[in-house]
Amino acid sequence: MSISPMKSIRYFFVSLLLTPFLLTSCEVEFSPNAEWKNVPVVYCLLDQDDDTTWVRVQRCYLSEGNIYQYGSNSDSINYPQGSIQVALLAYDGGTLKDSIAFTYTEVDRDSGAFAYTAQPVYYALTKNKLRENYTFVLNVRNTADGSLLATTNPITLIKKTSGTLISKPSITVTPSGDTLGGFYFNEVDPVSPAQASCLIQWNPLENARLYQPVVRFYYESGGVKHHIDFLCPRVSSSSSEVRYTREQFLTELRNRFQDDTTVKHYIPHVDIYLTCCSEELNAYISTSSLGNSINQEHEAFTNIIGGVGVFAARRTHLFKGMPADNSVQPGVGLNDLILNLGVGFEAY
C-alpha cells in the first residue's frame, strides 16, 4: 500500500476525534496575512465491525493576533449546517458499488481553548456495508455548486487471515496439574528474568500496521458487574506478540482504584481485545506524536487531497474471552495479589 507524502501544514487547526487519538496543531510557513483559502480538515476511521461510521469535518482558519480567540468561535472552525455534503464511495476494482451519504448531527466536546459546544459531525449506518473486498474513497463537496472540497485515495480495510485470532493465552487445562489456562502471569520475561508476565500472541491481520492488545478486567461492586480496560504495549506489524507484566497490571489496577475503597470482588474472567490500525493511521499517529507544542513546527502526515487530516482503517472489536487466574496462593496467585492491593477488593 502506498501512502501520501507528509506535508508541512501552515494552518492552525484542532480536531475533534471520536476515537482515542491525539489532537494536533501545526504552525504556518507562509504569511498569516495571506489570502484565505477554504481548506477542510477531515477525520474518518473505518471499522467494519462498527454499526456507525463518523466523519468530523471542519475548516482551517487564518488570523491576526491571538489565534485562540478565533478558535473559540465556532464560526471560525465549523462549516454551517447544510453547506457541505459528505459521502463514502465503495469500489470493487474500478467499479463503483455503493455511495453512502452521511447525515449532519451535533455533539458537545469537553471545554477548552477551542469552541466546544454543538460541534458538527456526520454519521452513516454502515453495518454490513463495509465489505473487506472493497476499497473506499471519502468525498466532501460544496452543497451550493457541487464542487469537490476534499477527497482521498482509495484505502483498504483490515482483514482477518486466520479463524484463530488470539492464539495465546489459551483456555485449555494443562496436563501437569489443576491450573486452568487463560489469563495469568506464568511466563518469565526474557528481558527482566525476575519479572512475571502474560504472553499475548496473535495471528497477523492483513493491512494492519500497528497492534495494541487491551485487557478488559471485570469486577463486581454492589451487585453490579463493571469492567475497566488496561492497555498493553503496542507493537508494529513486524511482531505478533507482546508481554504484559504482572507489575504493570497491578500498578495500573492500584492507580485506578487508589481513591475508591468501596467493597469490590474480583471476577476471574478477562476479555483480550486486539486493536489495530492501517498504514495511514499508523503514519498519522507517528508524526502527530512528534510535536508537543502549538509553537513547534513539524511535518504531519495527511492523506486528505485538497485538505488535511486522515482517512484510515482500524479494528477495535476483535477479542477473545477467557478465564483468569483465581488462585489465592500467597504472593503468587492473582486473586491473592489483588486482594492485598489495599484498594477495596475482598474475597467472596
* Per-residue pLDDT at 114: 47
Of 12 and 58, which is predicted with more confidence?
58
* Per-residue pLDDT at 31: 45
pLDDT at 238 over 70: yes
pLDDT > 70 in the chain, percent: 76
* Per-residue pLDDT at 188: 86
* Per-residue pLDDT at 291: 54
* Per-residue pLDDT at 296: 61
Angstrom distance (rounded) from CA 259 to CA 179:
33
pLDDT band at 37 (very low <50, low <70, confident <90, very high): low
All cell numbers assigned to 256: 485506578
pLDDT > 90 in the chain, percent: 60
Q: What is 181-221 written as a DSSP string?
A: PSB---EE-SSSTT-EEEEEEE---BT--EEEEEEEEEEEE
pLDDT at 35 over 70: no
pLDDT at 206 over 90: yes
* Per-residue pLDDT at 265: 96
Nearest 5°: phi and psi at 286?
-65, -45
Q: For residue 86, give the nearest of 40, 131, 118, 132 by alpha carbon.
A: 40
Q: What is 265-288 written as a DSSP string?
A: EEEEEEEEEEEEE-HHHHHHHHHH
Predicted confidence (pLDDT) per residue in 77-136, tens digit? 789 999 999 999 999 998 999 999 999 999 876 554 444 567 899 999 999 999 999 999
Predicted confidence (pLDDT) per residue in 303-340, tens digit? 999 999 999 999 999 999 999 999 898 988 999 999 99
Nearest 5°: phi and psi at 244?
-110, 110
Q: For residue 240, give the nearest of 198, 202, 183, 189 by alpha carbon.
A: 202
- Does the pTM surpass 0.85? The reply is no
Of 294 and 132, which is predicted with more confidence?
132
Q: What is the mean pLDDT of residues 64-87?
A: 70
pLDDT band at 36 (very low <50, low <70, confident <90, very high): low
* Per-residue pLDDT at 76: 61
pLDDT band at 248 (very low <50, low <70, confident <90, very high): very high
pLDDT at 8 over 90: no
Q: What is the mean pLDDT of residues 258-280?
A: 94
